[in-house]
Amino acid sequence: MKNISIAIQTTFLILFLSACSTRLDYYNLHPTLTPKRDTKAIKPQHIIGISEVKIANYLQKESFTTRLSPNHLKVKDDTVWASSLAKNIQQVLQANLSALLPSYTVLTYPWEEPFNDKKRLFLTINRFDGDKNGTVVLIGHWSLIDQSRDKLIAGEDFRYIKRGNPNIAGIVETQSQLLGELSHKIAKYIRRR
């Protein structure tokens, strides 16, 4: 009886230790554009504020999600985002737009008050995932608001699809590239205004 008790305790200990030693892989999106200079003075007439990015509920999880079919998602518990995906997207957009619009200062929410941004960017992402073939889809909506007149300057629904390497690192790289494409589109509208 004592041997059975020891065997059961040993089994639970092994299971507990193996659960504790599960290795996690962490991923982060990155800017695909580099700024032309390291620092710049803030010009009050050229400030763009990027509001909090809204992402679909399934993207708010820490774990990485891949798409198996249009209605079937797989959550990878051993693969996680290194930080909040929404905040990471916001930071990547800030870096990309800063590189594309060197005469503007691009700041992200939360910002220090008083904050007098003339233009504010709002972004909602409804889908941002990849499949087993490395195909990444980015779907959402962005809008640019003139804060001083409380008026919509520009906005559009977007859908980007791009195929990359069919592994997690490849999907994350392709997601970063798609954010670069979105940044180019938004910067084009900002330059026109």
Classify residue 13: in a domain, yes or no. no
Q: What is the pLDDT of residues 23-54, one digit of tens each?
A: 788 888 999 887 665 555 555 568 899 999 99
Q: Which amino acid is at 87?
A: K
Classify residue 116: in a domain, yes or no. yes
Classify residue 16: in a domain, yes or no. no
Q: Is 150 left (phi over 0), alpha (psi -120 to 50) or beta?
A: left
The predicted model gives 66-88 an average pLDDT of 94
Contacts of 117 (CB under 8 A, 6+ apart): 47, 48, 49, 107, 111, 147
Nearest to 186 by CA among 153, 151, 138: 153
Torsion (CA) 164, 53, 145, 110 in degrees, nearest 10:
-130
Q: Residue 117: is it exposed, middle or buried by C-beta count within 10 angstroms (0-12/13-18/19+)? A: buried
Q: pLDDT tier at 180 (50, 70, 90 boundaries)?
A: very high
* Its pTM surpasses 0.85: no
Domain range spanning residue 184? 25-192
Classify residue 18: in a domain, yes or no. no
Checking if the pLDDT of 13 tops 50, the result is: no
Q: What is the pLDDT of residues 80-114, one digit of tens each?
A: 999 999 999 999 999 999 999 999 989 998 877 76
Q: pLDDT tier at 147 (50, 70, 90 boundaries)?
A: confident
Bridge-based pairing state of the strands 105-108 and 119-131: unpaired
Question: Is the previous residue joined to 114 through a cis bond, with omega within 30 degrees of 0?
Answer: yes
d(CA 139, CA 158): 6
Domain count for the chain: 1
The predicted model gives 179-183 an average pLDDT of 97
Res 177: pLDDT: 98
Residue 61: CATH number of its domain:
3.40.50.10610
Q: Which amino acid is at 73?
A: L
Classify residue 76: in a domain, yes or no. yes
The predicted model gives 47-69 an average pLDDT of 94
Res 38: pLDDT: 58
At 160 the three-state DSSP class reads strand
- 69-73, 123-127, 135-139, range with the lowest pLDDT: 69-73
- Cα-Cα-Cα-Cα dihedral sign, residues 28, 33, 36, 41: negative
Checking if the pLDDT of 74 tops 60, the result is: yes
Classify residue 36: in a domain, yes or no. yes
The predicted model gives 8-22 an average pLDDT of 54
